[in-house]
Structure 1
Amino acid sequence: MILQYHDPMCGRFDQSQTARFYANVFGWADAVYDSESTPAYNVPPGTYRPLMHIQDGEHRIDDVFWSYRAKWAEGKLPISINARLDKLSNRYWSRLLKNGRAIVPADGWYEWTGEKGKKQPWHIHRKDRAPLFMLALANFGASTENRAEAGFVIVTDDAAEGMLDIHDRRPVVLDAASAALWLDPAISPEQALELARHAALPPDAFEWFKVRPEMNRSTTDRAQMALPMPE
């Protein structure tokens, strides 16, 4: 399957701990796992990664395909890896906002600056290096035509302050308590949107540094990807 992506912001992330580690930090000692993913420093779209969600009252961590396009949109819309926060109430995303709220646990994400051919990758993470809980929407049903029918996207919003130097958009990241509310099926889509708008961690909760250009290759996955580039 050839993936044609829309809105390439947050095109990679660092998920270098185990799913069980993230679940324990989140307070999900009772989580049910259907995940065979191993830790990865350089996660690209089009791969299956552990996602946290609640299904039939169970705390679940399942491997889900990073990319999404509704089945009815085949041939009409490109495949997405991100969803804009200000668009979540529209027809395309509203069903997932109601029934497909999820969390992508991670240690950071990557952005790029510079001109094509000379792109400089940056690793963005919490200043306290605590795990990130990035908002996501997913279709947890089965796919019939291609894998992106049963996939996930990361919710993004406008960047602000110093983060604009890296990219004009960023993932919506919550602390563990607010992320648990986002997952709670008892809150309405409208309440979930308000939570995402007002509980997102501010720019001063993050820091970033340059990483090695070899990070540009999506097949490269080593611990050095998440370390500052030597001067």
Structure 2
Amino acid sequence: MCGRFDQNDIARRFVAAFGWADAAIRSEAMPTVNAAPGTYRPIMHMEDGQLVVDDLFWGYRARWAAEKLPIAYNARLEKITNNYWGRLLKTGRALVPAYGWYEWTGEKGHRQPWHIHRKDREPIFMLALANFGPFKEHKAESGFVLITADSAGGMVDIHDRRPVCLNAADAAVWLDPDLSTEQAEMLARSMALGPEEFEWYKVSPALNRAGNDGEELIVPLAE
């Protein structure tokens, strides 16, 4: 986790679901049910005291690490205070709004995607770490990763890890620039929505191909 997510709505509706009256929406990305790593997706963050929605590259690698580390798409919650992620935890906290994410079961060549979402079908706000600003050599220098944690409980039958999601009120605290890195880590650990808040069902194997899109791909498959 997490290799794809469902972001099938315009940024302004996600902002409304977040409960904020206004935001600077600079996103031009189109809604998709099949957001994939290596693409530009809308993310929410604070800039000069204002909520902003920008399109950012899904994937991050520090410029100095170009010859040392692969591009990361997720960051483990257990490691977000280390030397590599700690700077972004301090200055680059962000949210990725979505309606759910995908996990796969089955053998290679017969992979079955599952759509995981809130039981009440409200948007989720996935915690992210991001580096904003222009890149010099590779677009992953200015990108984001999703924070993941151990799945725990019932969700482990689909996958052993999950994105860390908060409700809107706690997600707003995550964006507060005055929140210390220690407080941010504790918030992510203590307030993450648990497996009991989610449900999941099988969807079309056509989702296995990153370029495929369309709401018909997320219609529940008959058991």
Answer whether TM exceeds 0.5 for this pair: yes
Secondary structure of the structure 2 residue equivalent to 1:103: strand
2:89 to 89, 97, 101: 97
> Which of 130, 140, 153 is the equivalent residue of 1:148?
140
Shift of 1:224: 1.6
1-structure distance, mates of 2:154, 2:217: 22
The yes-or-no answer on 1:195 pairing with 2:187 is yes
SS in 1 for 2:129: strand
1:112 alignment partner, one of 104, 107, 110 = 104
Cα distance, 1:211 vs structure 2: 0.4
| Aligned match of 1:177 | 169
Q: Quote how far apart the aligned CAs of 1:27 are.
A: 1.8
1:43 matched to which residue of 2?
35
Q: TM-score, normalised by structure 2?
A: 0.98
2:216 counterpart of 1:205: no
Alignment of structure 1 residues 20-31 onto 2, 5 Å: 20-31=12-23
Deviation of 1:229 (Å): 1.4
Post-superposition offset of 1:225 = 2.1
Amino acid at match of 1:112: W
Cα drift, residue 161 of structure 1:
1.4
Residues 54-133 of structure 1: pairs in structure 2 closer than 5 A: 54-133=46-125
How far off is 1:135 after superposition?
A: 0.2
* Counterpart Cα distance in 1 of 2:109 and 2:170: 39
**Quick one: distance in 2 between partners of 1:226 and 1:121?**
10
The Cα offsets for residues 121-168 of structure 1, whole Å up to 9 and x where unpaired, read as 000000000000000000012101011000000000001111111110
Task: Percent identity, please.
Answer: 62
Structure-1 separation of matches of 2:204 and 2:88: 36
Q: Number of residues paired by the alignment?
A: 223
Gaps in structure 2 of 5+ consecutive residues: none
- Any runs of at least 4 consecutive aligned residues in structure 1 with deviations exceeding 3 A, and if so which? none
CA distance in 1, matches of 2:76, 2:4: 17
Tell me by how many angstroms 1:10 deviates: 1.0
Equivalents in 1 of 2:24, 2:205: separation in Å?
37
Q: 2:10 aligns with which of 15, 18, 27?
A: 18
Q: Tell me the alpha carbon deviations over residues 175-206 of structure 1, each in whole angstroms, 9 at most, x when there is no partner.
A: 00000000000110100000000000010000
**What SS class does the counterpart of residue 84 from structure 2 fall into?**
helix
Aligned-residue Cα RMSD (Å) equals 0.7
Quote the residue 2:209 is aligned against.
217
Mapped to 1, the partners of 2:50 and 2:170 lie a distance apart of 18
